[in-house]
Amino acid sequence: MGAERRREFVAGMRMGVGPGAAAFVLALSFGAEAVARGWGFGLPVVFSMFAFSGSAQFTLLTTLAGGSALAAIVSAVLINARYLVMSVALNNSLEGGRISRAIQAQALCDASFVVAHGNDGGYDIARLVGASVPQWLLWSSGTAIGALTSPTPELMHQLGLDVAFPAFFLILAIDELRRSKRAAVAALLGATIAAGLLFVTTPSYALLGAIGAALIGVLPQEEGELA
């Protein structure tokens, strides 16, 4: 790894601590809820280590409680369909052969995707990977601690921890919107789509439909326009 890549990797790690701290709080809830639903200690921890996706994990956890395993798996896959769009945007920034590119893509998560975005429209992969490291560590350890201590939702609310995760993502979104007019249009369109779909379907499908707004990113870009 060259000096420039090391600097970007370290910078990514610094930027990943904030979202990682928010993920840690959410992981406490996941670990506690998984134990309450009879998953035991080991299963939710291993699940967090390999899945590393709060949305998919919570979807699977809640859907399994009231439906079939097939319905739970389908719901988890659908809620993570946004990564298809994100991976297309990331594709041109990946380096090396197929195996190397596949390994790099494993570091893709929401917050890392945002912090790795450059003003030229590309993505710094070293920063992406660096940002994902603290998030993965804090997500996995948060699940373990939550499974061991089982904090109640009431305690999380009293401490104000239940708003930490959305607050961090709001900060990331604001920074991205300030840098890009196209991102602002996509955000507004996505919110409109989601709001409309909430009248006819569940929040999970409304979120999935809102992902379509990200297709604005594939439109031709004018010279000098920030992506």
Mean pLDDT of the chain: 80
- Among the ranges given (124-133, 166-175, 204-213), the one the predictor scored with the smallest mean pLDDT: 166-175
The pLDDT score that the predictor gives to residue 129 is 92
User: Which segment, 59-73, 104-118, 157-171, is predicted with the most confidence on average?
Assistant: 104-118
Query: What does the block give as tokens for 210?
Result: 């809102």
pLDDT of residue 3: 84
Distances (CA, A) of 223 to 71, 181, 214: 46, 14, 20
Provide the pLDDT for residue 65.
66
- At which residue do the structure tokens 């390994």 appear? 103
Higher pLDDT, 141 or 2: 141
Tokens of 40: 């035991």
CA proximity to 150, closest of 33, 13, 49, 1: 33
Predicted confidence (pLDDT) at residue 139 exceeds the cutoff of 90: yes
Structure-model confidence comparison of residues 185 and 10, the more confident one? 10
43 pLDDT exceeds 90? yes
* Least confident among 6-15, 58-67, 122-131: 58-67
Q: Given pLDDT bands bounded at 50, 70 and 90, which one contains residue 60?
A: confident
Over 60: is that where the pLDDT of 219 sits? Answer: no
pLDDT at 54 over 70: yes
Residues 204/63/51/74 CA torsion (nearest 10 deg): -70
Residue 77 pLDDT: 76
Give me the helices (H) in the chain, please: 3-36, 42-51, 54-66, 69-79, 82-90, 98-105, 110-115, 125-149, 153-158, 164-179, 181-197, 203-210
Confidence band of 171 (pLDDT split at 50, 70, 90): low
**Statement: residue 224 has pLDDT above 60:** no
pLDDT band per the 50, 70, 90 thresholds, residue 218: low
CA–CA–CA angle 207, 45, 104 (5° rounding):
65
